């Protein structure tokens, strides 16, 4: 599974404070630890007010690139911020994100084309997150079609069907799985990702819920997730599930993760 490390996010209090005081050592340690734990991308979200976002996100890009070799996932709700910061990234990464809100496709897809980056696409439009499967599928199809119009192939698109908190919709996981199954049938090369921990918002024992959601979603075909790679139990669930569903030949990845102390 493609793991996008979620720890460098300014909406997390300790990280936001570190960004505000430009605590390079704190941020770089978070980046290094996630890479060592198995992250394929390091997500960078400044989480600051719009007037400071470009400067903060650019600073994050510069200092994180000094200490990790994995590519970055640039995370901002503003296409203009992403356009200003992406030139400072040294290697091709992942744009987080595009949706059907406003003119985001017309701003994000040209960026992805110009710089060769992959894109996370959210099943979201100006009306918000759809409650039903069919509307989410329609948004996903529209975004895939628009991306292809810019020469962005399906295998460069990570569709996020948007996990809603189980505490507010007890069909949340079932809807996610249904969208994923049907998209995989229509667009076999498209990748499916998720903001994993959203499923458990508002409930006790969140990590337990996250692990079980992950196991089911992996079995059903999820390719990626934005998650905490420093959660050894969660990482253990990934390696165990991939071995059980035949994605880990001779359990080599599982055994290597054990030997390295990752699980």
For the stretch 215-246, pLDDT in tens is 999 999 999 999 999 999 999 999 999 999 99
pLDDT at 157: 98
Which residues are registered as beta bridge partners of 239? none
Give residue 121's pLDDT band: very low, low, confident or very high (50, 70, 90).
Answer: very high
Per-residue pLDDT of 4-40, as tens digits, reads 999 999 999 999 999 999 999 999 999 999 999 999 9
Q: Write down the pLDDT at residue 126.
A: 97
**pLDDT reported for residue 133:** 97
Q: What is the pLDDT of residues 142-184, one digit of tens each?
A: 999 999 999 999 999 999 999 999 999 999 999 999 999 999 9
Task: Please name the residues in contact with 138: beta carbons below 8 A apart, sequence gap of 6 or more.
Answer: none
pLDDT tens-place string over residues 40-93: 999 999 998 899 999 999 999 999 999 999 999 999 999 999 999 999 999 999
Instruction: Give residue-wise pLDDT tens across range 189-209.
Output: 999 999 999 999 999 999 999
- Mind spelling out the 3-state secondary structure of the chain? CEEEEEEEECCCHHHHHHHHCCCHHHHHHHHHHHHHHCCCEEEEECCCCHHHHHHHHHHHHHHHHCCCCCCEEEECCCHHHHHHHHHHCCCCCEEEEEEECCCHHHHHHHHHHHHCCEEEEEEEECCECCCCHHHHHHHHHHHHHHHHHCCCCHHHEEEECCCCCCCCCCCHHHHHHHHHHHHHHHCCCCEECCEHHHHHCCCCCHHHHHHHHHHHHHHHCCCEEEECCCCHHHHHHHHHHHHHCCCCHHHHHHHHHHHCCCC
The residues that bridge with 195 in the sheet, in sequence order, are 226
The pLDDT score that the predictor gives to residue 53 is: 97
Domains, in order of start, for the chain: 2-232 (3.20.20.20), 233-263 (no CATH)
Q: What is the pLDDT of residue 68?
A: 98
Write down the pLDDT at residue 241: 98
pLDDT computed for residue 232 by the predictor: 95
Residue pair 139/130 in contact (Cβ under 8 Å)? The answer is yes
Rg of the chain over CA atoms, in angstroms?
18
């Amino acid at each position: 599974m493609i793991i996008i490390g979620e720890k460098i996010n300014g909406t997390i209090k300790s990280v936001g404070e570190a960004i505000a005081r430009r605590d390079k050592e704190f941020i770089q340690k978070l980046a290094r630890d996630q890479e060592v734990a198995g992250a394929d991308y390091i997500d960078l979200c400044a989480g600051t007010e719009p007037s400071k976002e470009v400067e903060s996100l650019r600073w994050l890009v510069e200092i994180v690139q000094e200490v990790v070799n994995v590519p970055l996932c640039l995370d901002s709700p503003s296409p203009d911020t992403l356009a200003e910061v992406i030139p400072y990234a040294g290697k091709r990464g992942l744009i987080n994100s595009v949706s059907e809100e406003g003119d985001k496709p017309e701003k994000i897809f040209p960026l992805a084309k110009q710089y060769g980056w992959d894109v996370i696409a959210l099943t979201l439009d100006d009306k918000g997150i759809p409650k039903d499967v069919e509307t989410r599928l329609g948004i996903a199809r529209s975004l895939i079609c628009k991306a292809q119009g810019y020469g962005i192939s399906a295998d460069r698109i990570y569709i996020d069907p948007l996990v809603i908190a189980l505490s507010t919709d007890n069909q949340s996981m079932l809807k996610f799985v249904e969208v994923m199954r049907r998209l995989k049938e229509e667009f076999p090369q498209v990748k499916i990702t998720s903001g994993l921990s959203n499923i458990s918002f508002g409930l006790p024992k969140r990590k337990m819920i996250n692990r079980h959601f992950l196991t089911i979603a992996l079995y059903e075909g999820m390719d990626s997730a934005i998650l905490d790679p420093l959660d050894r139990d969660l990482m253990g669930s990934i390696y165990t599930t991939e071995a059980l569903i035949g994605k880990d030949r001779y359990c080599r990845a599982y055994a290597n993760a054990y030997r390295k102390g990752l699980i």
